[in-house]
Homo-oligomer: A and B are copies of this chain.
Amino acid sequence: MITSTLLDSISRPVLLLNENQARENIRIMAEKARQSGVDFRPHFKTHQSIQIGRWFRDYGTTKITVSSVEMAAYFASDGWDDITIAFPLNIRQLSEIEELASDVNLGILIETIEAAQALGLRRSSRFNIWIKIDCGLHRAGVDWQDTPRVHAIIKEVQKFPNLHPAGLLTHAGNTYSARSPEEALSIHTETNKRMRQLRENLGIPELSISIGDTPGCSLSKFFTGIDEIRPGNFIFYDAEQLEIGSCRPEEITVAMACPVVAVHPERDEVVIFGGAVHLSKEAFLHEGTPSYGLAAETLSNGWGSIIPGCTVARVSQEHGIIAVPTQHMSKFYPGGLAIIIPTHSCLAAHLMRRYLTLDGKYFEMMPV
């Protein structure tokens, strides 16, 4: 009798999810937050799934972060009622935001006086206002050294009774470019220092400080002077986090199962059904060359160790090309499956729209 395994059923790229380890990743981060006395407000843009969101409830999570108004509405529909939209206020969505705030304790990020005014005029709803601070990433936010501007925004917020000045919020996404735990931790520490310095300069000790990158939150043992952490990626981790040193290989909980469609021993390459529309075009520098993912051993019910030197060297729309050291070429054959740890799990998950757990359950993500 032939026993059918999880992987036998796969005929096209599928994002596998190791539920047990993902729950363990949640447990560890929730416990670290509890022990450090900081609020835990995980970012749900990583998984975008109501079912996976419920796992967080099992570890005591009551507050969440999302990256869009639609995502806030999606999770609100499952009973989440304390949500921060960690994206600069989009005033073209003010009506939707106002409606949402009538049901949900809603946190909004602003970085201008005009944004405070726009929200303040929506009197029927109450908003928690976070001032977005730029501690060096230079993506969005007010420069952490620009105390007068932050002060002016807070003064404006205080004019409106429906606006509650919650605090100062930053995202130290520059830890993603770190290439060692020490480097990531150093950015993390410096970011926290800048946020505390800004709060001190403002002279408003009751303002909360919220930070939120996975490398910093995974590596740091202490969150001195911090009130809230918002990591997201840590539930899955990925090849880039491994490269940074934020996680161990066995803590990575998603991987793409990709049918092998051709092998090219003459150039030590394998062609998989699994390209930019599955893994994304996000690359990281792995041993000096761009990598779109790392290949792991294919097991009958999941994946094992990362195969040394096996990296997705190129992707086009549906094709992926794995560069394989000669001694590992025999692991790949047409009709087999390659298992790829994606470079950036958030983007791979976003592209796939669903997960297959190692015990065979499908979880859908929010509709796009």
Contact = CB atoms under 8 A, between A and B. Distances in A.
Interface of A: 10-12, 45, 67-70, 87-93, 96, 111-112, 114-115, 138-140, 143, 173, 259, 261-262, 266-267, 269, 271, 273, 276-277, 280-283, 314, 316-319, 321, 334-335, 346-347, 350-351, 353, 368
Nearest to A280: B281
Contacts of A87: 261, 273, 318-319
A350 B317 contact: yes
A90 B88 CA distance: 44
A363 to B, nearest CB: 15
Contacts of A350: 277, 317
How many identical chains are in the complex? 2
B139 A93 contact: no
Given A68-B273, A112-B334, A139-B319, 9 more contacts: A12-B90, A45-B317, A67-B317, A87-B273, A88-B262, A140-B261, A281-B283, A281-B347, A317-B346
Contacts of A12: 68-70, 90, 92-93
Interface of A, secondary structure class, is mixed
Contacts of A67: 317-318
17 contacts: A11-B96, A67-B317, A67-B318, A89-B334, A91-B259, A91-B334, A93-B259, A115-B334, A138-B321, A139-B271, A140-B262, A140-B271, A173-B316, A276-B282, A277-B347, A317-B346, A317-B350
Contact of A335 (B92, B111, B317, B335): B92
Contacts of A259: 90-93
Contact of A139 (B68, B111, B283, B314): B314
Contacts of A280: 276, 280-281
Contacts of A319: 87, 139-140
Nearest to A68: B318
Given A11-B92, A319-B87, A353 B368 contact: yes
Contacts of A266: 143
A277 B280 CA distance: 9
A67 B273 CA distance: 10
Nearest to A70: B12
Contacts of A273: 68, 87, 90
Contacts of A269: 138
B271 A88 contact: yes
A145 to B, nearest CB: 11
Contacts of A68: 12, 273, 318
A328 B70 CA distance: 31
